[in-house]
Structure 1
Amino acid sequence: MSRIASSSSTEAGSSSKARRRRPSAIPRTNGWPPSCPGSTTRTGAVAVADKMRVVVIGAGRVGLCLAEMLAATGDYEVVAADCTEEALSSARARGLLGRHVDAARPEELARLLAEADLAVAAVPDRLVAKVALAALEAGVHFLDFCEAGKDTRAIGSAIAPSKAFLTGCGVSPGLVDAVAYDLVQRLEPGCDLDLRVGALPARRTNRLGYGLIWNLDGLIGEYTADCAAIVDGRAATLPPLSGRVEFAAGGIYYEAFLTAGSVGTVAELVAPRVRNLVFRTIRYPGHLDYMQFLLDDLGLRSRRDLLATLLLNGLPAAEPDAVVMEVRATGTCEGRPAEVVYSRRIEPHDSAGNHGALALASAAHAAALIDLLRNDNLRGPALRCAALVPHGTVIANRHFAALRVNI
């Protein structure tokens, strides 16, 4: 991936952007709707009276959902950008302004971001750093939905202090990180943290208890890769599909087991206060047994292509879906044993259209942060770490109105 050429050239580009909007050789037909009177770009947050210009790069499930959420408020000028006509047609059918862009081409990203305030990367992980670098060079805020890799971190360290650089937004990473950070603050150092998160069909319809909710390659990767953890205060890896537990929440029974979840950001945040940390994926009971049969008994662990084909052709589309999260922090408080538990099941309201719970919750988390940024309520360390924004503030945001958040 592209790396930062030099800190001096980066700073020069950022300071130029701060003083004025860069002269554009691109006419207003570059995709933006005409500005409303008085609409301007600011070095920090955009004044409440202005319309913040947001480019969502990647019009897949989450990107499209986020673009639609922001556009519906009337507070944002939104462009949904993608490299496929299918995605752009879907965006335009929803009344969104669509632009073709290849996120692997820096020159196309530069043109797209020339008049933006915020770049959102809703793209595959391999392209996130390219969008981040384009945001840095354009002098705009940046937000994405995945754990920051080495290249993305390097770019974030060079961005202007007044600019937001928010990686790992969504559900996990994202909302669950904020919950975990909150819970460990309530206990004394040396506590244990158990993160459990899952997106699954709202009702069980097959023996596997699963459907086509998310990217199958990502799912198989989580089931087969080593699991990052903290054990006895030290970074460690644990075998996937181990550590199975059963629990009930809201009268529904689940199982949870270790997977290669997104724990990088939260592990760094809570490491000084945590002795043990694990991440488990939530499923309906029996799912793990069937997956171990496919992976081990049938030998499909070494034939991921065949496993993906089998699941793709055999599983139903999981609509509607639900997101379940349970975070447990166990330790001591004022010298006494204590346990703090946060348990929620998130489902869309009937009026939420055809977006699923996972896409809606991921987009709502990002949209809530964007609202805070626009209203100048996102400052200091929170401009660099979404987990520092209280989860209660996020869930109380208007964009979560499309979701039922049940205890």
Structure 2
Amino acid sequence: MQKIAVVGAGRIGVTIASLLAHSGDYRVQVLDPNAQALAALPQHPAIVPALLAPDDDVRPLLEGAFALLGAVPFHQMARLAQAAVAVGAHYLDLTEDVASTQAIQALAADARTALIPQCGLAPGFVSIAAAHLCQGFDSLDTVHLRVGALPRFPDNALGYQLSWSTEGVINEYCQPCEAIAEGRLQTVPALQGLEQLRVLGQDYEAFNTSGGLGSLAHSLQGRVRELNYKTLRYPGHARLMRFLLDELRLRDDRALLRQVLEGALPATEQDVVVVFISVSGRQGGRLLQRNYAQEIFGTTLHGRRISAIQNSTASSICAVLDLLAQRQLPNAGLVRQEAVALPAFLANRFGAVYANSACV
């Protein structure tokens, strides 16, 4: 069995560990500073808890590890990537933060192992699917990525409940966003570019958020007229978030904003992940559009209930790890998500969560 180090015993990290351990091919060491979180890990002979204080050197715990998987807040990712490179382990993470990813890309230049950041849902799977949809066009016109992690039963004015990292949500609402407009790579503000759309019979609004494109804008630069990523929410959400961030100036006090959101919005495991990807371009003289649309729900995993965001995010990083272990991906340097072949991803035992799409 391959040894895997998963840093982070939160909801996503626990789901990753459970998926990998029950596959029979991986022994998973879960590293976290919280002894209570480690004690709550699923009981399985292939899951091994290990205390790791925030300032501890992770390198001694990586001895013999095939890969390190980061399932912690974005500001810890660069340090973990450095440790993985130092001991010769592959590195995968879930970060949506642009600065963290840039630091990891710099490390990858001389790495003897693979560094694969942004292996979650968005960034992550959406770039894999979008790159696949782009194939076969004579020329590309637009590439639109729309993703939402939403409560199935919203009952407040924001139309939102907490289903993943509050810190991550705030970061993507505040940081600038990459996009391509009129063929030029540029930066656009978060929470702008509001649009209304219907996906699989449900009305949503969508607006710019940071990080969801991953490296796709750089891969498609010069090939597409318009490329953007927007988050899906129920109508009215963006207006209220702009009120909190801009008029109440909570953009300048993210700790307080996190306290407000976590104190007022309950968490939910009754969520849904909605993915809609639209690619248009010229083929044989015609303007043609191809789409991918999918809803992913929570499920029961080895006796434990997991949410839709746990299901989609953990499955994605596990599928990329599996493809790496099966030598279907480069084993050194930076590996971008769009380098992963969609058919191989969907055929994978973990990636199959995404296979039942409305249209591919």
Q: TM-score, normalised by structure 1?
A: 0.80
CA deviation after TM superposition for structure 1 residue 173, in Å: 0.9
**Which whole-Å CA distance do the structure 2 matches of 1:124 and 1:82 have between them?**
12
Q: Is the 8 A contact 2:195 2:207 kept in 1?
A: yes
**Cα offset for 1:175?**
0.1
Q: Which residue of 2 aligns with 1:384?
A: 335
Match of 2:114 in 1: 164
Residues 281-336 of structure 1 deviation map (CA, whole Å, 9 limit, x = unaligned): 00112222332333345444444444322221111212121111111112221221
Map 1:307-322 to 2 at 5 A.
307-322=257-272
> Distance between the aligned counterparts of 1:385 and 1:303, measured in 2?
33
1:255-305, Cα deviation, whole Å (9 max, x unpaired): 111122332411112223212211110011222233233334544444444
Percent of matched pairs sharing the same residue: 35
Higher helix fraction (1 or 2): 1
Whole-angstrom distance in 2 between the partners of 1:220 and 1:370: 28
Cα deviation 1:351-375 (Å, max 9, x = unaligned): 5722211122111111112222223
Cα distance in 2 for partners of 1:383, 1:227 equals: 22
Residue 364 of structure 1: SS of its match in structure 2?
A: helix
**CA 1:222–1:140: 2 relative to 1, 3 Å:** closer
Per the alignment, residue 32 of structure 1 pairs with none
Which residue number in structure 2 is paired with residue 151 of structure 1?
Answer: 103
Moved more, 197-206 or 67-76: 197-206
Whole-angstrom CA distance in 1 between matches of 2:323 and 2:12: 19
* Preserved CA contact (<8 Å) 1:357 1:403: no
User: Where do 1:110-149 residues align within 5 Å?
Assistant: 110-147=59-96, 149=101
Equivalent of 2:322, from 349, 358, 371?
371
2:122 aligned counterpart, secondary structure: helix
Answer yes or no: is the 8 Å Cα contact 1:360–1:403 preserved in 2: no
What amino acid is aligned across from residue 219 of structure 1 in structure 2? V
Deviates more, 1:304-313 or 1:77-86: 304-313
2:194 partner letter: R
State the Cα RMSD in Å: 2.4
Indicate the residue corresponding to 1:42 in structure 2. Answer: none
Q: 1:311 to 1:201 in 2, by over 3 A?
A: same
1:215: Cα distance to partner?
2.0
Amino acid in structure 1 at the alignment position of 2:318? A
Contact 1:212–1:318 (Cα < 8 Å) also in 2: yes
- What amino acid does structure 2 have at the position aligned with 1:385? R
Secondary structure of 2:160 counterpart = coil
Q: Tell me the CA shift for residue 406 of structure 1.
A: 4.8
- Residue 329 (structure 1) aligned with residue 276 (structure 2): no
Structure 1 segment 383-402 matched on structure 2, within 5 A: 384-400=335-351
How far has the Cα of 1:86 moved from its partner?
Answer: 2.3
- Distance (Å, rounded) in 2 between the aligned partners of 1:323 and 1:89: 29
Q: 1:358 is paired with a residue of what secondary structure?
A: helix
SS of the residue aligned with 1:327? strand
Show the counterpart of 1:101: 52
User: Contact 2:134–2:140 at 8 Å: present in 1 too?
Assistant: no
1:190 deviates by: 4.3
The SS at the match of 2:123 is helix
Q: Distance in 2 between matches of 1:404 and 1:331?
A: 24
Residue 341 (structure 1) aligns with: 291
Q: Is the 8 A contact 2:6 2:71 kept in 1?
A: yes
- How far did 1:194 drift? 1.3
1:287 to 2:237 alignment: yes
Q: Determine the C-alpha separation between the residues in 1 that align with 2:323 and 2:249.
A: 49
Indicate the structure with greater strand content.
Answer: 2
Write out per-residue CA displacement over residues 204-260 of structure 1, whole angstroms, 9 at most, x where no aligned residue: 232321101122232223223322211222221223222222222222221111122
Any conservation in 1 of the 2:319–2:348 contact (CA below 8 Å)? yes
Which letter does structure 1 place at the counterpart of 2:321?
I
Q: Report deviation, 1:380.
A: 6.8
Cα deviation digits, residues 142-197 of structure 1 (max 9, x gap): 2111255333122211112xx33211101011100111211222323342111111
The 1:351–1:401 alpha-carbon spacing in structure 2 relative to 1, beyond 3 Å, is: farther
Distance (Å, rounded) in 1 between the aligned partners of 2:208 and 2:18: 34
Task: Report the Cα distance in structure 1 between the residues aligned to 2:214 and 2:101, rounded to whole angstroms.
Answer: 10
SS in structure 2 of the partner of residue 172 of structure 1? coil
- The alpha carbon displacement at 1:121 in A equals 1.7
Aligned counterpart, 1:39: none
Gaps of 5+ in 1: 1-50
Work out whether 1:238 is the aligned partner of 2:188: yes
Counterpart for residue 36 of structure 1: none
* TM-score normalised to structure 2 length: 0.89
**Number of equivalenced pairs:** 353
Shift in alpha-carbon separation, 1:159–1:304, aligned structure 2, 3 A: closer
Residues 360 and 382 (structure 1 numbering): CA distance in 2 closer, same or farther, change over 3 Å?
farther
- What is the letter of the counterpart of residue 270 of structure 1? L
What is the alpha-carbon distance in structure 1 between the residues aligned to residue 128 and residue 332 of structure 2? Answer: 13
Secondary structure of the 1:269 match is: helix
Q: 2:258 is matched by which residue type in structure 1?
A: A
- Residues in 1 aligned to 2:230 and 2:152: alpha-carbon distance in whole angstroms: 19
Contact 1:117 1:140 in 2 (8 A): yes
1:176 aligns with 2:126: yes
